């Protein structure tokens, strides 16, 4: 391929051949070149955490997605022919889990990243910079929707709660709850923005003050229930 340059007032276009690999390398390694953009210094570490309050999960089930799709495809026709089918609470409970292809249950990896970014509000660090500087590596993906997952260590139980939907209608929900849980979270960060100690403390703040999952302190729709809090072990 070649680079095309249009000159003002010219009827023709000048075609400049692309740089060869050797020429490009020579330019990059030029001794008198002024460097203003440095290479990213990315570092990774596994941070062990342990829950200090219950973790409750609510995955959007495949059945709900299909029902929503059918309703939207039907359009106006769907409004007059709604059939109230019996609710299978056991099925609802199982569908609320994030299950990886290998069969283990995981916590959405973005939950930890989002919590760390949100914790930046507490220390005056720009959240927009944190979005580009800290990442959470997944142990696998959700078999249903491809959500990146961090494997959770622990056994869930059924948690039954009376809630109100956005419409104000009362509802009963079964969700998986882990009363004792832990995980090993692999975090990658930009060393030009954060030191290793910064990342550890940021994760600690994320666990103690922000939380993850349902009913977390940083819930966007309420003040939370104090669920989903954790601490970093080994500090």
The Cα angle at residue 96 between residues 94 and 100, in degrees rounded to 5: 80
Residues 45-57 have pLDDT tens digits of: 999 999 999 999 9
pLDDT of 5 reads: 39
Q: How many Cβ atoms from other residues are within 10 Å of residue 177's Cβ? A: 20
Confidence band for 89, pLDDT divided at 50, 70 and 90: confident
**What is the C-alpha end-to-end distance of the chain, expressed in Å?**
55
Query: What's the structural domain count of the chain?
Result: 1
Q: Is residue 93 scored above 90 in pLDDT?
A: no
pLDDT of 20 reads: 65
Confidence band for 3, pLDDT divided at 50, 70 and 90: very low
CA dihedral over 69, 140, 198, 201, signed as positive or negative: positive
The answer to the question of residue 177 being in a domain is yes
3-class DSSP state of 83: coil
The answer to the question of residue 23 being in a domain is no
Residues 117-129 have pLDDT tens digits of: 999 999 999 999 9
Q: Is residue 72 scored above 80 in pLDDT?
A: no
Pairing of strands 55-56, 170-178: antiparallel
The answer to the question of residue 164 being in a domain is yes
Q: Is residue 7 scored above 50 in pLDDT?
A: no
| Dihedral of the alpha carbons of 219, 221, 223, 228, in degrees to the nearest 10 | -30
The answer to the question of residue 20 being in a domain is no
* Over residues 22-46, mean pLDDT: 79
The answer to the question of residue 21 being in a domain is no
The answer to the question of residue 225 being in a domain is yes
Q: Is residue 6 scored above 80 in pLDDT?
A: no
- Residue that has been written with the tokens 């989903």 in this structure: 228
CA distances to 14, 147, 151, 160 from 109, rounded to whole Å, are 50, 8, 9, 25
Q: Record the tokens describing residue 65, joined without a space.
A: 């997605």
Q: Which residue has the higher pLDDT, 59 or 133?
A: 133
pLDDT of 30 reads: 65
pLDDT of 37 reads: 85
The answer to the question of residue 167 being in a domain is yes
Confidence band for 184, pLDDT divided at 50, 70 and 90: very high
Residues with Cβ within 8 Å of 93's Cβ and at least 6 positions away in sequence, in order, are 158, 174, 175, 176
What is the DSSP annotation of 149-179?
Answer: EEEEES--EEEEEEEE-TTS-EEEEEEEEES
The answer to the question of residue 80 being in a domain is no
Domain that holds residue 131: 40-59+96-232
pTM value is: 0.76
Residues 155-181 have pLDDT tens digits of: 999 998 876 666 666 778 889 999 999
pLDDT above 90: percentage of residues in the chain:
57
């Amino acid at each position: 391929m070649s680079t095309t340059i249009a000159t003002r007032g010219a009827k023709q276009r000048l075609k400049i051949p692309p740089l060869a690999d050797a020429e490009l390398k020579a330019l990059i390694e030029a001794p008198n070149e002024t460097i203003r953009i440095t290479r990213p210094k990315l570092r990774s570490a596994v941070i062990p955490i342990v829950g200090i309050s219950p973790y409750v999960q609510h995955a959007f089930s495949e059945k709900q997605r299909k029902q929503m799709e059918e309703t939207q495809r039907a359009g106006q026709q769907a409004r007059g022919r709604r059939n109230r089918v019996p609710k299978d609470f056991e099925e609802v409970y199982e569908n609320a889990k994030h299950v990886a292809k290998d069969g283990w249950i995981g916590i959405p990896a973005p939950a930890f990243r989002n919590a760390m970014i949100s914790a930046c509000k507490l220390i005056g660090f720009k959240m927009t910079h944190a979005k580009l500087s800290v990442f959470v590596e997944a142990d696998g993906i959700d078999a249903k929707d491809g959500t990146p997952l961090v494997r959770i260590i622990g056994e869930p139980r059924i948690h039954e709660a009376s809630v109100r939907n956005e419409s104000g209608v009362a509802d009963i929900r079964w969700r998986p709850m882990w009363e004792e849980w832990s995980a090993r979270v692999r975090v990658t960060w930009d060393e030009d923005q954060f030191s290793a100690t910064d990342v550890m403390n940021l994760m600690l703040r994320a666990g103690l003050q922000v939380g993850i999952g349902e009913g977390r302190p940083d819930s966007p729709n309420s003040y939370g229930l104090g669920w989903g809090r954790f601490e970093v072990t080994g500090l």
